[in-house]
Amino acid sequence: MTESAPAYADPELSPSAMHRLHPLTPFLRSWRMLGAAVAIGFGFFKDDLERLKYFWDALRGDAELSVLLRAAVVLFVVAAVLVAGAWMSWRATGFAIVDDTDGPGTLRFHRGLVVRQRSQVRLNRVQSVEVNQPLFARLLGLAVLRLDMAAGDDASVSLAYLSLKDAWSVREEILRHTANAPELGVVVGDRTDDELIARVSTTRLVQANLLDSVGVLSFFALWVVALVVMRILGSGDVVLAGLSGIVPVTIAILVQLRKQVASILRDADFGLYRTRTGIRISAGLTSTVNRTIDTDRIQGVRLEEPFLWRRLGWARVEVDVAGAADSTQAARLMPVADRPAALALVRSVTGVDLDAGDVRRAGERARSLDPLGWRYLGVVLHEHGAVSMHGRWRRTRIYVPYARTQSVSVRQGVLQRRLGLASAYLDMPKGTGSWHASHRDVAEATDLVAELAARARAHRLALSRAGPAASAAAQPEAGRGLG
Amino acid sequence: MSDAAGDRLFADPDLDWQPVSPALVTERRLPVAVLALLGLGLVGGGGGAAMAADSGAGWPLAVPGLLLLALAALLWWVLVPRVVSAWRYAEREQDLLVSRGRMQRRLSVVPYGRMQVIEVSANPVSRHLGIATVTLVTASAATDARIPGLPTEVAQRLRDRLAAKGEAAAAGL
C-alpha cells in the first residue's frame, strides 16, 4: 500500500538526509531523451553536417566553421538542459527505511521536483522484491530495485537506479521486514545463504521452447510445402494467389520468432534458489531479473504440460503473486523441468502434491460440451487448497490455497442446463488463475460451491485470527518444506 | 424445462432471497426504447425522404431494417422483466449470495471478509426512479457481485449492513 500523506512532514527526513540513488541515474534516465535530441539535432543540421567532408576546408574558411559550431552548441545546450533537469530531479529523490518502534518497517520514498511524491511502503505488505538489471543499466553495473505491492502496478515502487551492491543490500534490509521473517528469528536476505534448488540449461530451454511452439512452426512449414506443391501442380495464378498471403504469414512468423527469442532471453540462465522465507528466481540473458517471493504470498500455482513435452516427461511451473508487474515474467517459476522435479518444486512452495488426492472427474455428460477435453476435467480438494485439472493438449493443473480465494461463483449456460450441469469457479486476486471446475453435475456443483465456500472461510479465519504472524501455521507444510 | 437441482443451486429455497425492485424493468427498458424510437425515426425518415426524392424506389429496402429493429426492441421489452425477476440476493451469516440470469445463470458467493469496497451508484434515470446499484468489490477482478435496482433506502441500509459485517470479518489478502 503506497500511502501518500500530504500532512507528513518529518523534518529530519529531507531527501538530502536520505539515501540517494546512484549518481549515474540522471544520465540513464535521460539517455532516451538525449538520443532523441541528437536525432532531432541531426535532422535539423543534416545539410550542415554533410559539409563535414569539407571539414578541413571549413577549418580554413570561417563561414563553414560557424555552422558546425552552431550545431555543436545547440546540441550541447540541449544535452546540458536535459541532464541538468534529470540531475535536479535526482537531487530531490531519496529513500529511507525506517524502523517503526511498534510495528513493521516502512520504506519512505521521496521523489518529484515539480510534483512532489511521498510514498510510504509498509514493508510487511510487500509481495515480492526484485533486483533487476535492464540491459543499459547492466552495462553500467546498475540495478533497479522493485517492490511489488498487492494493489498492483500503480502502488509498486521502483528504486532506479542503484549500484548492484547497494540494490542487494537494500533488498536484504527489506526482506528483514517482510511478513514472516521476524518470528522465524533468522537473519534473512543474505543471498549467499540461498540454496540453489534448480538450474535450467540453455539447450533444454531452447528445445522446450521449440517443442512448445511446434504446432505453429509446423503450420508455417506446411504453408511453404503447400506453396511449392502448388507451384509444381498448378498454374502460376494459383501460386500468385498463395503468395498474396505472404505478408500476413511473414508477419506471423516474425511475431512468433520474436516471442520465442524473447522468451528464451528472459528465461536463459535460469536459477531457482531457496531463501529462508521463500524463493528467489534469477534469470535473463541481456536483462537480468532477481525476484524474491515469500512463499506466503503465493496465490496460485500452475503446472503445465504441453502436448509434445509429455513424451519427454517435461513440465512447466508458474506462480501467481498479487501485484506482479509483468504477468509473463512474474509467473515463471520453472520454465522447464522433469515432471517429478516440477512436482517436488510445487510441493516445496505449497506443500501440496499435485498428483495425490482423489480426483473428482467430470461425468460422461460433459462429453457433448467438451468432446476432446472432458476426460481431463477434474478437481481435487486438498487440505489447504484445491486443484483444478483441464486441457487435452496442454494438460494443466492449477492449485490455489483456500486462504487466498476471494469469492466462489457458479455458472450454468443453456446447454449445461439441459444436461443438468454447471461450472464452479474460484475467484482469485489475480484474474489469471482461472481455477474452474467445468461441467459438473448440478447436485455435485451445489456441494462443491458449499464446500469451497466453507473451506475458504475456515482458512481465512485461521489466517486472520492468528494474524500474519501465524500464516506459517496456516500452511504448515509450506513452512516445513522451506525449513 | 424445470430442474429442481438447478433451481436449488441458483435459488436455494431455504434462503431468504430478496428480489430487486420492478423499477429496474423501466430503467432497463428505457434506453433501448429511446434508441429504437430514434432508429425507427431515422430509418423511417430516410425511407420517406427516399420516397419523396424518386418515386419511392429506396423505400422497400428500409422495410426489413424497420422490422428487424422493431422486433429486437420488442424482444428486449418482453425479456427484461424475466431477467430482472431472476436477479436476487440473499444475506447469509458469513457471505452474500447474488444470483442472476435466465439463459446463463450465475451465482456468486462473496464472503463479507473479502469485501474491499462497497459501492452504491445511481445514474440519472435510476435516480429518478429512486433505485440504486450496490456493487461489491473484492481483490479479485473476477468477482461479479452487482445488485442493481434496489430502492435507495434499501440500498443504503444494505450498504451499511454489509460494511458492518465486512469490518467484523475483515481478513488480509
| Res B54: pLDDT | 64
Q: Mean pLDDT in chain A?
A: 78
Evaluate whether B5 touches A442 at the Cβ level (below 8 Å): yes
With beta carbons under 8 A apart, name residues in chain A contacting B5. Answer: 420, 442-443, 446
| Res B109: pLDDT | 93
DSSP code for A218 = H
| Res A61: pLDDT | 57
Given a cut of 70, is residue A478 above it in pLDDT?
no
Cell 529513500 found at: A95
| Res A440: pLDDT | 92
Q: Hey, how many other C-beta atoms are within 10 angstroms of the C-beta on B134?
A: 24
Given a cut of 70, is residue A180 above it in pLDDT?
no
Identify each DSSP E strand in A181-226 by its residue range: 195-200
Given a cut of 70, is residue A66 above it in pLDDT?
no
Q: Among A407, A443, A460, select the one facing B109 at the smallest CB separation.
A: A407
| Res A468: pLDDT | 47
A1 CB near a chain B CB, below 8 Å? no
Distance of CA A442 to the CA centre of its chain: 37
A149 CB near a chain B CB, below 8 Å? no
**Residues near A240 by Cβ (< 8 Å), separated by ≥ 6?**
none
**Mutation target vs B (from A407, A432, A461, A465; most B CBs, 10 A cutoff):** A407
Q: Among A429, A443, A449, select the one facing B140 at the smallest CB separation.
A: A429
Given a cut of 50, is residue A477 above it in pLDDT?
no
Sign of the four-CA dihedral A457, A462, A465, A469: negative
If pLDDT is split at 50, 70 and 90, which confidence band does A100 have?
A: low
With beta carbons under 8 A apart, name residues in chain A contacting B146. Answer: none
Average pLDDT over residues A62-79: 72
Given a cut of 80, is residue A57 above it in pLDDT?
no
pLDDT in tens, A299-313: 889 899 998 899 899
CA distance B2 to chain A (A): 10
With beta carbons under 8 A apart, name residues in chain B contacting A406. Answer: 110-111, 114, 138-140, 142-143
Average pLDDT over residues A438-456: 92
B103 CB near a chain A CB, below 8 Å? yes
Evaluate whether A422 touches A379 at the Cβ level (below 8 Å): no
| Res A212: pLDDT | 84
CA distance A303 to chain B (A): 21
Given a cut of 90, is residue A124 above it in pLDDT?
no
Given a cut of 60, is residue A28 above it in pLDDT?
yes
CA distance A450 to chain B (A): 9
User: Residue A417 and residue B172: Cβ atoms within 8 Å?
Assistant: no
User: Residue A460 and residue B111: Cβ atoms within 8 Å?
Assistant: yes
Output the CA torsion A158→A163→A167→A168 (10° steps): 160
User: Residue A457 and residue B113: Cβ atoms within 8 Å?
Assistant: yes
**Mutation target vs A (from B1, B94, B109; most A CBs, 10 A cutoff):** B109
| Res A190: pLDDT | 58
Using left for φ > 0, alpha for ψ between -120 and 50, and beta otherwise, residue A407 falls in beta
Between chain A and chain B, the number of residue pairs with CB atoms below 8 A apart is 109
If pLDDT is split at 50, 70 and 90, which confidence band does A46 have?
A: low
With beta carbons under 8 A apart, name residues in chain B contacting A425. Answer: 142
User: Residue B143 and residue A406: Cβ atoms within 8 Å?
Assistant: yes
Given a cut of 60, is residue A184 above it in pLDDT?
no
A461 CB near a chain B CB, below 8 Å? yes
Identify each DSSP E strand in A208-297 by its residue range: 270-274, 278-283, 288-294
If pLDDT is split at 50, 70 and 90, which confidence band does A106 have?
A: confident
- The ipTM, to two decimals, is 0.84
Q: What are the cell numbers at B91?
A: 444475506
A456 CB near a chain B CB, below 8 Å? yes
A66 CB near a chain B CB, below 8 Å? no
CA distance A156 to chain B (A): 16
CA distance B79 to chain A (A): 16
CA distance B166 to chain A (A): 13
B102 CB near a chain A CB, below 8 Å? no
If pLDDT is split at 50, 70 and 90, which confidence band does A382 have?
A: very high
Cell 514493508 found at: A123
Q: Check residues A266 and A480 and name the one with the higher pLDDT.
A: A266
Average pLDDT over residues A130-151: 84
Q: Hey, how many other C-beta atoms are within 10 angstroms of the C-beta on A402?
A: 24
DSSP letters spanning A107-150 = EEEEE-SSS-EEEEEEGGGEEEEEEEE-HHHHHTTEEEEEEEET
A413 CB near a chain B CB, below 8 Å? yes
Query: Minimal CA–CA distance to A179: which of A441, A478, A418?
Result: A478
Cell 427498458 found at: B29
pLDDT in tens, A214-223: 777 787 788 7
Apex A331 CA angle, A372 and A448, nearest 5:
50
CA distance B57 to chain A (A): 40
| Res A101: pLDDT | 59
Average pLDDT over residues A428-456: 85
Given a cut of 90, is residue A380 above it in pLDDT?
yes
A444 CB near a chain B CB, below 8 Å? no
Which CA distances in Å does A257 have to A91, A252, A276, A305, B114? 43, 9, 38, 21, 42
| Res A19: pLDDT | 83
If pLDDT is split at 50, 70 and 90, which confidence band does A473 have?
A: very low
A449 CB near a chain B CB, below 8 Å? yes
Per-residue model confidence as pLDDT tens for chain B (173 residues): 457 888 888 888 888 999 999 999 999 999 888 988 888 888 777 767 766 766 555 566 667 877 888 898 899 999 999 999 999 999 998 899 999 998 899 999 999 988 888 889 998 888 999 999 999 988 877 788 899 999 999 999 999 999 888 887 765 54
3-class SS of residue A19: strand
User: Residue B145 and residue A322: Cβ atoms within 8 Å?
Assistant: no
What is the rounded distance in angstroms from the CA atom of residue B134 to the CA atom of residue B139?
17
Given a cut of 70, is residue A64 above it in pLDDT?
no
Evaluate whether A268 touches A289 at the Cβ level (below 8 Å): no
CA distance B82 to chain A (A): 15
CA distance A8 to chain B (A): 26
Q: Check residues A224 and A415 and name the one with the higher pLDDT.
A: A415
Evaluate whether A356 touches A220 at the Cβ level (below 8 Å): no
What is the rounded distance in angstroms from the CA atom of residue A450 to the CA atom of residue B147?
21
With beta carbons under 8 A apart, name residues in chain B contacting A296. Answer: none
Evaluate whether A350 touches A478 at the Cβ level (below 8 Å): yes
What is the rounded distance in angstroms from the CA atom of residue A418 to the CA atom of residue A351?
39
Q: Hey, how many other C-beta atoms are within 10 angstroms of the C-beta on B18?
A: 14
A365 CB near a chain B CB, below 8 Å? no
**Residues near A342 by Cβ (< 8 Å), separated by ≥ 6?**
A303, A315, A316, A317, A334
Parallel/antiparallel/unpaired status of strands A195-200 and A270-274: antiparallel
| Res A50: pLDDT | 64
| Res B19: pLDDT | 92
With beta carbons under 8 A apart, name residues in chain A contacting B139. Answer: 150, 322, 406, 429
